[in-house]
Amino acid sequence: MTAPQLVLASSSPRRRDLLARIGASPARIASPDIDETPLKGELPRAYALRLAQAKAAAIGRSADEIILAGDTTVALGRRILPPAETEDVQRKLLGLLSGRRHQCISAICVIDRAGQARTRIVETVVAFKRLSDAEIDGYIASGEGLGKAGGYAIQGRAEALIRFVSGSHSGVIGLPLFETRALLLSAGYPLG
């Protein structure tokens, strides 16, 4: 039996880069079109898992393909924080996260050749230092956190403003590599 082909259900260049770190190279990249609006009363863990599963299910799959999808949700307690679509939203998000711990919840879903879905959820605690207005303004001016969950990118300038991380650094970026590797191997995808 030939090795399965990997389909990445994400247009995120960060997820492609992370996969390369574990020797995985998608044969195909497909961007799922799903509604990412949280359901009324939905908690962050359930939300992240639902989105990862929905993204994987939204992509058509041939018999020799396995699908990998992920979602990274930033939460402050039970509150799901949105992506920073504008600088005003980003300023509010960074103000909320300033000096506080928050959770980055990374959910991954792999659908194997038989159509069986495997999932994992990884929670990472992240704490920003207390941010001054000048630091927030400077970070926003860099442009790197725009469009990102929680309004920041830990793999960039924001890392210098983070005083504490407990969990998966790659999960905060967008794909927890330890768990992703295990899921891909269990689905029959060959990795070294």
Instruction: Find the catalytic residue in 71, 88, 133, 137.
Output: 71
Burial of 87 (0-12, 13-18, 19+ CB in 10 A): middle
**What band does 3 get if pLDDT is binned at 50, 70 and 90?**
confident
As a whole number, the mean pLDDT across the chain is: 95
Can you list the pairs that 181-186 forms with residues at least 24 positions away whose Cβ atoms lie under 8 Å? 181/22, 181/24, 182/120, 183/68, 183/108, 183/110, 183/118, 183/119, 183/120, 184/6, 184/22, 184/24, 184/66, 184/68, 184/110, 186/110, 186/112, 186/118
What is the per-residue pLDDT for 34?
A: 95
Which residue, chain included where needed, has tokens 């600088």?
87
Over 70: is that where the pLDDT of 161 sits? Answer: yes
Q: pLDDT tens digits, residue range 25-40?
A: 999 999 999 999 999 9
**What band does 2 get if pLDDT is binned at 50, 70 and 90?**
confident
Tell me whether residue 35 is one of the annotated catalytic residues.
Answer: no
Q: pLDDT tens digits, residue range 118-146?
A: 999 999 999 999 999 999 999 999 999 99
What is the per-residue pLDDT for 26?
A: 95
CATH of 5-186, one of 1.10.3720.10, 3.30.70.1230, 3.90.1580.10, 3.90.950.10: 3.90.950.10
Over 90: is that where the pLDDT of 192 sits? Answer: no
Q: pTM score > 0.85 for this model? A: yes
Domain residue extents for the chain: 5-186
Q: For 59-89, give the DSSP string.
A: S---TTEEEEEEEEEEEETTEEEPB--SHHH
Over 90: is that where the pLDDT of 171 sits? Answer: yes
What percentage of the chain reaches a pLDDT higher than 90? 94
What is the mean predicted confidence (pLDDT) over 89-94?
Answer: 97
What is the mean predicted confidence (pLDDT) over 108-117?
Answer: 96
Residue 156 amino acid letter: G
Over 70: is that where the pLDDT of 1 sits? Answer: no
The DSSP bridge pattern shows strands 117-128 and 101-111 to be antiparallel
What is the per-residue pLDDT for 100?
A: 96
Please provide the distance, in angstroms rounded to a whole number, between the alpha carbons at the two ends of the chain: 18
CA 190 from chain centre, in angstroms, equals: 23
How far is residue 36's CA from residue 24's CA, in Å, rounded to a whole number?
Answer: 27
Write out the H or E segment, with its range, that includes residue 8: strand 5-8
Over 90: is that where the pLDDT of 183 sits? Answer: yes
In the 8-state DSSP scheme, what is residue 175? -
What is the per-residue pLDDT for 11?
A: 84
